């Protein structure tokens, strides 16, 4: 399936959502929203339309992992906004003023600069960033404070962007146009966000560059998983979910349904970052 077809499908889903809103006499919300961090640093988010999709992968999918089954229908009940890119180092520093552990901060070894993704940030650190962001939004009168980490279902839905193939761009031969991963990253480091092409819903780096924290605890299969966009918090274990793959992963880890199964909430690493959701 070509990217033009995928884009058309995504556009059709968005158009249908807009039409439904207009039929109810409501004004369609904006396709993107921006908030301003301290120092005038912008953060842009993209509107993701409500809808349904098949979450997970079949055993016949190339690169399939055992924790990606059973494939199950999930309904995203309302629109939400998700970061157009991962949170950048410039955005993190504008809001927080420094890194959680100064001894483990972004460096030139793993990618350094205001347009590079933030990394060496734990799940707990991400929650502190969100708390500070919500407080800043309230204080500066930029709307309701509803920022949070995405649920795993929201993340996969946004990544797929109306597709059901292992990658939103379809053919693996085109991977280098859309993601930073082991096969095209000789420096083994992060890269500036939005340097590759976006998915059909205009989201960058959903595959590769850095892993992205989600709200959910990790479960070894989808048995008993929510059929909606809720975070799966029941029966918490040792690990929490990350999605998307990183700059030094093989292609299989960067597939839309792939799940990272071995990171704890306190872990900080050069390959872990975050992307935020803002509820409508």
* Contacts for 4 with CB less than 8 Å, ≥ 6 apart: none
Strand partners, 131: none
Instruction: Return d(Cα 89, Cα 198) in angstroms, integer.
Output: 20
Instruction: Return d(Cα 118, Cα 270) in angstroms, integer.
Output: 9
Characterize the bridge pairing of strands 41-48 and 51-55.
unpaired
Looking at per-residue pLDDT, the higher value among 1 and 176 belongs to 176
* Contacts for 265 with CB less than 8 Å, ≥ 6 apart: 122, 123, 124, 240
Q: Work out the end-to-end distance of the chain between its first and last CA atoms, rounded to an integer number of angstroms.
A: 31
**3-state class of 163 per DSSP?**
coil
Question: If you average pLDDT over residues 55-76, what whole number do you get?
Answer: 97
Q: pLDDT digits over 98-134, tens only?
A: 999 999 999 999 999 999 999 999 999 999 999 999 9
Instruction: Return d(Cα 53, Cα 153) in angstroms, integer.
Output: 9
Question: If you average pLDDT over residues 212-229, what whole number do you get?
Answer: 97
Element containing residue 155 per DSSP (H, E): helix 152-160
pLDDT mean across residues, the chain:
92
Looking at per-residue pLDDT, the higher value among 25 and 266 belongs to 266
Question: If you average pLDDT over residues 186-206, what whole number do you get?
Answer: 98
pLDDT band at 15 (very low <50, low <70, confident <90, very high): very low
pLDDT band at 12 (very low <50, low <70, confident <90, very high): very low
Q: Write down all domains in the chain, each with its CATH number in brackets.
A: 29-279 (3.90.1580.10)
Number of neighbours of residue 110 by Cβ within 10 angstroms: 21
pLDDT band at 25 (very low <50, low <70, confident <90, very high): low
**pTM above 0.85?**
yes
């Amino acid at each position: 399936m070509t990217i033009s077809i995928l884009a058309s499908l995504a556009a059709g889903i968005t158009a249908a959502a807009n039409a439904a809103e207009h039929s109810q006499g409501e004004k369609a919300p904006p396709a993107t929203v921006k908030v301003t961090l301290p120092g005038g640093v912008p953060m842009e988010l993209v509107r993701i339309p409500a809808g349904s999709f098949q979450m997970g992968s079949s055993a016949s999918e190339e690169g399939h992992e055992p924790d990606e089954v059973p494939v199950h229908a999930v309904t995203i009940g309302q629109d939400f906004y998700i970061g157009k890119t991962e949170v950048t180092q410039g955005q993190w520093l504008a809001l927080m003023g420094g890194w959680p552990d100064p001894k483990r901060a972004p460096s030139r070894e793993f990618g350094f600069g205001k347009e590079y993704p933030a990394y060496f940030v734990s799940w707990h650190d991400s929650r502190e960033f969100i708390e500070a962001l919500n407080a800043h939004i309230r204080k500066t009168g930029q709307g309701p404070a509803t920022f949070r980490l995405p649920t795993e279902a929201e993340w996969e839905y946004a990544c797929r962007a109306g597709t059901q193939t292992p990658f939103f761009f379809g053919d693996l031969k085109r991977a280098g146009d859309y993601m930073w991963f082991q096969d095209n990253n000789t420096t083994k480091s992060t890269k500036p966000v939005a340097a590759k092409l976006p998915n059909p819903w205009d989201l960058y780096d959903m595959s590769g560059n850095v892993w992205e924290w989600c709200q959910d605890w990790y479960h070894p299969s989808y048995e008993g998983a929510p059929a909606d966009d809720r975070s799966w918090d029941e029966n918490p274990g040792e690990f929490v979910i990350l999605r998307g793959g990183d700059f030094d992963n093989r292609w299989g880890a960067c597939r839309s349904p792939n799940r990272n199964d071995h990171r704890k909430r306190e872990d900080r690493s050069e390959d872990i970052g975050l992307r935020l959701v803002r509820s409508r």
